[in-house]
Copies of this chain bind each other. A is one copy, B any other.
Amino acid sequence: MHERDFISWIRRQEQLDPKAFPLGPGDDCAIAKLGGEDLLVTCDQVLDGVHFRLAEHGAEAVGRKAMARALSDVAAMAAVPVAAVATVALPRGFTRQDAEALYRGRRSVSDVTNCPVIGGDLGVWDGPLAISMTVFARRAGVTGGVEPVLRSGARPGQAVCLTGRLGGSWRGRRHLEFLPRLAEGVALAMNYRVRAMIDISDGLATDLRHLCEASGLGAEIVAADVPIHNDARIGLNPADSAAALRRALTDGEDYELLFTLPSAWARKLVERQPLPVPVTRVGRIVKARGITLIHPDGRREELADAGWEHRTDG
């Protein structure tokens, strides 16, 4: 089964009332109207063997990641988390000590992001550890004046920028230790006219494709401008910059923000560097669909649609 085809099929089955639900599935959060306010909702699961390896990473890191990953989707909307609820399926034999470590990890992220878990469901089963986290959020700004930033707001000519450095997240344990870019997302939306945003979970190439597809457009990435994390070079020959670039483009789990904004604002942003994390311009939005990588010698490479798609038997 192709997951993506199935998800597309599901979306074709559903018709939501746009007044009650201004934004349905397909962005980082969905939006429902409640009491005149925007209620943003995202849910995300972390599964042993897919998003972590319990035996290797330990329960505390897993609890941390479960909470941080869901909050990264809130950051990508430039919204403010309100609270979360969680379900946890514990493998039989999970110890009390591990359960407390799981809690501590989750709680440490709740504390720094001001996002308590207000409800949940805990069960024991014969399967591996699975955690599902749902986060509720609201508009940023004292009076809620900051519009949520969707994936669909990109326009031709806008700059493509991102926070931080990419690649090697699993090699360096960053995928377990990152903090969601919540304040950064809000600052970008409030002060730099960010028009489209997504968090980088599947890799720059794939997530930029998601953003561009939601906007009906394409993008060019300047290879020399992609900020490569030191973790992306782990185990590589230092001269092999092509391999490090490839990792930065496709490894994923960076949980950085990828966004578009008018070119003049991107210049100010990159010059001022107002965030605690570096911001880099890596390319621009174009009309032609697809993601093109521009090499230093001017060669243009179409990036194939890889990475995200998993295939199951049957």
List residues of chain A with CB under 8 Å of any chain B CB.
Answer: 1-3, 5-7, 9-10, 13-14, 16, 20-21, 24-25, 29-30, 32, 34-37, 39, 41-45, 47-50, 82-83, 85-87, 89-90, 92-96, 99-100, 103, 107, 116-128, 130, 132, 134, 136, 138, 310, 312-314
Whether B1 and A117, one on each chain, are in contact in the complex, defined by CB atoms closer than 8 angstroms, is no
Q: A21-B83, A86-B43 are in contact. Are A119 and B29 (CB under 8 A)?
A: yes
Q: A24-B119, A25-B118, A39-B136 are in contact. Are A49 and B126 (CB under 8 A)?
A: yes
Q: Point out the residue from B50, B134, B312 that lies within 8 Å of A94, measured CB to CB.
A: B312
Determine the distance from Cα of A32 to Cα of B84 in the docked complex, in whole angstroms: 10
Whether B93 and A314, one on each chain, are in contact in the complex, defined by CB atoms closer than 8 angstroms, is yes
Whether B43 and A118, one on each chain, are in contact in the complex, defined by CB atoms closer than 8 angstroms, is no
Whether A120 and B25, one on each chain, are in contact in the complex, defined by CB atoms closer than 8 angstroms, is yes
Chain B residues near A124 (CB, 8 Å)? 3, 50, 310, 312
Whether B49 and A134, one on each chain, are in contact in the complex, defined by CB atoms closer than 8 angstroms, is no
Chain B residues near A86 (CB, 8 Å)? 43
Determine the distance from Cα of A90 to Cα of B314 in the docked complex, in whole angstroms: 12
Q: A3-B124, A44-B87, A48-B127 are in contact. Are A118 and B35 (CB under 8 A)?
A: no
Smallest Cβ-Cβ distance to A116: which chain B residue: B16
Smallest Cβ-Cβ distance to A39: which chain B residue: B34
Whether A125 and B21, one on each chain, are in contact in the complex, defined by CB atoms closer than 8 angstroms, is no
Chain B residues near A20 (CB, 8 Å)? 82-83
A7, A48, A85: residue with the most chain B Cβ atoms closer than 10 Å: A85
Determine the distance from Cα of A86 to Cα of B10 in the docked complex, in whole angstroms: 13
11 contacts between A and B (CB under 8 A): A9-B100, A25-B119, A29-B119, A30-B85, A41-B83, A41-B119, A43-B119, A93-B312, A94-B312, A95-B314, A121-B132
Whether A43 and B93, one on each chain, are in contact in the complex, defined by CB atoms closer than 8 angstroms, is no
Determine the distance from Cα of A41 to Cα of B120 in the docked complex, in whole angstroms: 10
Determine the distance from Cα of A24 to Cα of B134 in the docked complex, in whole angstroms: 15
A37, A95, A134, A138: residue with the most chain B Cβ atoms closer than 10 Å: A134
Shortest CB-to-CB span from A202 to chain B, Å, is 12
Chain B residues near A119 (CB, 8 Å)? 24-25, 29-30, 41-43
Q: Point out the residue from B35, B37, B89, B92 that lies within 8 Å of A313, measured CB to CB.
A: B92
Determine the distance from Cα of A93 to Cα of B310 in the docked complex, in whole angstroms: 12
Whether B1 and A118, one on each chain, are in contact in the complex, defined by CB atoms closer than 8 angstroms, is no
